[in-house]
Amino acid sequence: MKLRTSLIIATATIALTALPAVAQQTTTTETTTTTTTVKKGHHRYVYYGDHDIYFAPETKVYYWREGNDWRSAAELPETYRTYITRGGVNIELDTEKPYERNEWVIAHYKHHDRDDE
């Protein structure tokens, strides 16, 4: 009978020891990460290097410099229109604001032949 009592006590001890683990609630924390992907596509422009004027054919917007500031509009001011009567150079940039890459454009395209010549 001692053996039987010892088995019952051992079983009860194991069950009681495991009971808090079973009774304990499990809390699961889920961490989600939001990733913002900025898609850098290519934007096409016609660059008129003689006066640093850009034209975006898709949006039909001109970009030009007035003093130290850049301007943009669907039409050029009348005083600038004579500068784009002849063709420019077709270029692609990774920005919607071509003046952000103006130094690079000048270095690579300022003195290139125009596409139509």
- The mean per-residue pLDDT over the stretch 75-80 comes to 93
Place of tokens 């495991």: 18
Other Cβ atoms within 10 Å of 25 Cβ, number: 4
43 pLDDT above the threshold of 70: yes
What is this structure's pTM? Answer: 0.59
Is the pLDDT score of 73 beyond 90?
yes
> Residue 22: which pLDDT band, with cuts at 50, 70 and 90?
very low
What is the token pair recorded at 61? 């917007």
Give 60 or 5, the one with higher predicted confidence: 60
> How much is the pLDDT for 4?
60
Three-point CA angle 55, 57, 58, nearest 5°: 130
| Residue 45, beta-bridge partner list | 91
